[in-house]
Amino acid sequence: MSREAQRFFANRGSVLGTLLICILLATVGLRPWLASKDPSAVNIDYGLTLRGAPLPPSADAPLGTDHLGRDVWSRIAAGAGSSLEIATLATLIALLIGLVVGLVAGYAGGWVDNALMRLVDLVLSFPFLLLAILLAALLRETNLASSIAPVVLTLGCVGWTTIARVIRGKAMSVSRSEMTLAARALGASPARIVTRHVLPNIAGVVIVVTALGFAQNLLAESVLSYLGLGPATTTWGRMLFEGRPYYRTAPWLVIAPGIAILVAVVAFNLVGEGLRDALDPKDHA
């Protein structure tokens, strides 16, 4: 086992986060067996009380039912897949933009670096959620409103700035190292230097910012869905949005997705922090 892996698994928070993520992924992968009920099946006749209220948790419905008689546990399991899919796609978009901007700024320096960093500052001047809400509202007016595309594009196009800044700092440090200067003196092209020397030496920080960015996107998607700007598919945020009128009479409708969001976000943050300490311990000595 490498030193990085030893440091990672020596951290109790990292181990706990990894365990929680494994449980989350197992829930998604084994959903047909763990939650066999159709999460979107409306069951007004048997899923509601005689007064038309959601059923409380029972042996047949471990987390109760919602206002349409749908099984909450099945919706939690289905929402895990949707929420993780949105967070994954949004993180990949943000990583692609941030990686390109950060590498170009860090390697080129000079006016290119100044121009790109001013762009980053401009985007950062707007509050993250406020800008995400604005973009999500605009994208909902398109033909993609019913899909996950508006939320994915919104989070991807807003969340790249922090990634770009972190990568830019590391890339700038590596670009001015003796190894890179020697490669440049030998006539290596900028593309070769970036791919052969810069990227491998910043791979650790890329992994860390990706994990932390994933947690941020997971939480941001829940906020957008709670505000009614999320996709029409079943997500944890949408479950919060639909359950908010019943938080007094049927609190399990908000407690269940709320706990799921909390556990998932904490898990990915713990793993991200653990990766940071394991891959770059000198920054936290």
In angstroms and rounded to an integer, the radius of gyration of the C-alpha atoms of the chain is: 22
The DSSP secondary structure of 134-161, one letter per residue, reads HHHHHHTTSTTTTSSHHHHHHHHHHTHH
Average pLDDT, rounded, for the chain = 86
- pLDDT, position 53: 86
Count of alpha carbons within 13 angstroms of residue 72, beta-carbon side? 29
Gap between the Cα atoms of 115 and 109, Å rounded:
10
Helix (H) or strand (E) holding 66: none
| Interval 66-120: pLDDT, tens | 988 999 999 999 999 999 999 999 999 999 999 999 999 988 888 999 999 999 9
Question: What are the tokens at 63?
Answer: 């987390």
- pLDDT, position 285: 44
- pLDDT, position 21: 94
- pLDDT, position 283: 52
For residue 133, pLDDT over 80 is answered with no
Which CATH number is correct for 82-269, 1.10.760.10, 1.10.150.530, 1.10.3720.10, 3.90.1660.10? 1.10.3720.10
| Interval 203-253: pLDDT, tens | 888 888 998 899 999 998 888 888 877 777 888 988 998 998 888 889 999
- pLDDT, position 38: 86
Gap between the Cα atoms of 70 and 48, Å rounded:
9
Question: What are the tokens at 107?
Answer: 């390697």
Are 208 and 280 in contact by the 8 Å Cβ rule? The answer is yes
Q: What whole-number percentage of the chain has pLDDT above 90?
A: 34
Question: What are the tokens at 6?
Answer: 């030893």
